[in-house]
Amino acid sequence: DSGVTQTPKHLITATGQRVTLRCSPRSGDLSVYWYQQSLDQGLQFLIQYYNGEERAKGNILERFSAQQFPDLHSELNLSSLELGDSALYFCASRRTGETGNTIYFGEGSWLTVV
């Protein structure tokens, strides 16, 4: 168990709709990362937040947005959904160890757009 919690686990919605995915990082971890995993693209970095502020941005579409709240949980908002947005969305948290920082993943949220 990585300690990173994601909800919902599964979600089916129609094209054009909007959904919100939620993530709670491991207790004490200040960073939250969002990744998208689709069959053809593999794991793609979307965005990172650190202590409430955006730290890095990857291949995140303009229809997508995220934020991190004062209690450090994060939400990923996906709007105007298209069939191609169907994917597994992971949240990850950073943990500092003896040799550096390691990223630990939550169980993911399966999004199916129909």
Partner 1 sequence: EDKVVQSPLSLVVHEGDTVTLNCSYEVTNFRSLLWYKQEKKAPTFLFMLTSSGIEKKSGRLSSILDKKELFSILNITATQTGDSAVYLCAVVPSGQGGSEKLVFGKGTKLTVNP
Residues near partner 1, by CB under 8 A: 2, 31, 33, 35, 42-45, 48, 50, 55-56, 58, 88, 90, 94, 97, 99-108
Least gap, CB of 23 to partner 1 (angstroms): 12
Is 42:51 a contact under the CB 8 Å cutoff? Answer: no
Least gap, CB of 16 to partner 1 (angstroms): 27
Q: Which of 91, 110, 93 is closest to 102 using CA atoms?
A: 93
Least gap, CB of 40 to partner 1 (angstroms): 9
Is 12:19 a contact under the CB 8 Å cutoff? Answer: no
Instruction: Assess whether the previous peptide bond of 8 is cis (omega < 30° from 0).
Output: yes
Provide the token pair at 91: 């949240």
Question: Quick one: 37 or 65, whose CB is closer to partner 1?
Answer: 37
Question: Quick one: 102 or 112, whose CB is closer to partner 1?
Answer: 102
